[in-house]
Amino acid sequence: MTPQVWFITGCSSGLGRAVAQAALAAGDTVVATARDPRTLDALVASAPDRCRPYALDITNTQQMRDVVQRALGVHGHIDVLVSNAGAGLIAALEECSDEQIARNIATNLTGPLQLIRAVLPAMRARRSGHVIVISAIAALSNHEGFSVYGGAKAGLEAAMEAVAVEVKPLGIRTTLVLPGPTRTDFISKSLEAGAMTIPDYAPTSGKFGTFLRSISGKQTGSAEKVASLIVELSREATPPLRIVTGKYATQRAKAKLRTLTAEIEAWESRAMPTDF
Ligand SMILES: NC(=O)c1ccc[n+]([C@@H]2O[C@H](COP(=O)([O-])OP(=O)(O)OC[C@H]3O[C@@H](n4cnc5c(N)ncnc54)[C@H](OP(=O)(O)O)[C@@H]3O)[C@@H](O)[C@H]2O)c1
C-alpha cells in the first residue's frame, strides 16, 4: 500500500503517541502535534525523515489552521486525521467551575470540530481521506462524575454522525474510536478534579473519582493494541463509523443498547401515538 500521511493531535503521550509510533512503524509519514513540541523530540528522532513536530493547542483555532496549512505545504495532502487530544474532568456537574466546563468543552468538542473543519477542504479536493476521532465509552454509556467530559464526547459523536453522512459521497471515511479504560497517563495527567467538593456528591461522583484514581496504571486496555487497530482501520476501504475497544467498553456498549431498546419498547404504546 502507498505510504500515508497522518496528522495526529496530542502526540506527547498515551494513545496519540502510540498511534504516531504505529503509523511510523508501518512506513507512513506523521505530522505529530503537541502543545509542547519538545515532548516530540524522541518520536521525531525515531524517524527524522518521516516525522515532523508542530506546536498545536486544540483550543487555539488560528494556530490549528496555520499548522494544517503548513503541513499541507510540506506534504501536499493529509490521508488520515486523528483527532486524539482530549482531557478529562471528574466531578459532579455542580462541582465544576464555569471555566472548567468551558475549557473541557473547548478541548473535547469545539477544538476537534474546528480541526476537522480545517482539514476537510484538502480531503474534499482529493475526494479522499479518513477522519478518525478518539471519543470514549463515556459518550455512549456515561458514569456519574463525567457529565461534562462524557457530554462533550457525546456531542462530538453526534456531530460526527452527521459529518460522516455529509462527507461519504465526497470519498472521505469517518471513524469514531470509543476506548474503555486504557493504560495511558490519562488519569494521572489529563483528568482534572472539580473546582470544589460538595459532600452530597461523595457517594456518587466522588466514589467514581476515587475508583478511577485507584486503577491508574492498571487499566485493562493497551494503548499500543488500540493504536495497531487504528492503523489497520486506516487501510480499510469501508471502516466502521464506531468501534468500541476492549472488554469493559464492549460490555457497557451492549448493555446500553439493551436498556435503550427495552426503554423505548416499554413506553412505545404511549409515546408513538404523539404523531398527528
Ligand atoms: N486512557 C483512557 O482510559 C481513555 C479512555 C477513553 C478515551 N480516552 C481518550 O483518549 C484520548 C487520549 O488520551 P490518553 O488516554 O492518551 O491520555 P494522555 O496520555 O493523558 O493524553 C492526552 C493527550 O491530549 C493532549 N491534550 C490535552 N489538552 C490538549 C490541548 N488543549 N491541546 C492539545 N493537546 C491537548 C495531551 O497533551 P499534554 O501532554 O500537553 O497535556 C496529551 O497529549 C483523549 O481524547 C481521551 O479522552 C482515553
Domain spans in the chain, listed from the N-terminal domain onward? 5-247
Q: Atom of ligand 1 at shortest distance to CA of 219? A: 3
- Beta carbon of 53 within 6 Å of any ligand 1 atom: no
Residue 70 CA to ligand 1 center (angstroms) comes to 23
261 within 8 A of 268, measured Cβ to Cβ: no
- What residue owns the CA closest to ligand 1's atom 18? 186
Closest CA relative to residue 252, chosen from 89, 142, 134, 87: 142
Q: Atom of ligand 1 at shortest distance to CA of 189? A: 20
Residues annotated as catalytic are: 135, 149, 153
Read off the pTM: 0.98
pLDDT tens, N- to C-terminus, the chain (276 residues): 789 999 999 999 999 999 999 999 999 999 999 999 999 999 999 999 999 999 999 999 999 999 999 999 999 999 999 999 999 999 999 999 999 999 999 999 999 999 999 999 999 999 999 999 999 999 999 999 999 999 999 999 999 999 999 999 999 999 999 999 999 999 999 999 999 999 999 999 999 999 999 999 999 999 999 999 999 999 999 999 999 999 999 999 999 999 999 999 999 999 999 999
According to DSSP, the residues that pair with 133 across neighbouring strands are 83, 176
Residue 193 CA to ligand 1 center (angstroms) comes to 15
Residue 118 CA to ligand 1 center (angstroms) comes to 20
SS3 of residue 238 by DSSP: coil
- Beta carbon of 157 within 6 Å of any ligand 1 atom: no
Q: Is beta strand 129-134 parallel, antiparallel or unpaired with respect to 242-245? A: unpaired
Residue 7 CA to ligand 1 center (angstroms) comes to 15
* Best of 7, 8, 35 for a ligand 1 pocket test (most atoms within 8 Å of beta carbon): 35
Q: Atom of ligand 1 at shortest distance to CA of 181? A: 3
C-alpha cell at 9: 493531535
Please state, in angstroms and rounded to a whole number, the distance separating the CA atoms of residues 69 and 41.
Answer: 22
Domain covering 5-247 in this structure, CATH number = 3.40.50.720
Sequence-distant (6+) residues with CB within 8 A of 23 are 4, 6, 8, 30, 80, 231, 234
Residue 34 CA to ligand 1 center (angstroms) comes to 10
- Beta carbon of 246 within 6 Å of any ligand 1 atom: no
- What residue owns the CA closest to ligand 1's atom 8? 136
84 within 8 A of 134, measured Cβ to Cβ: yes
- Beta carbon of 107 within 6 Å of any ligand 1 atom: yes
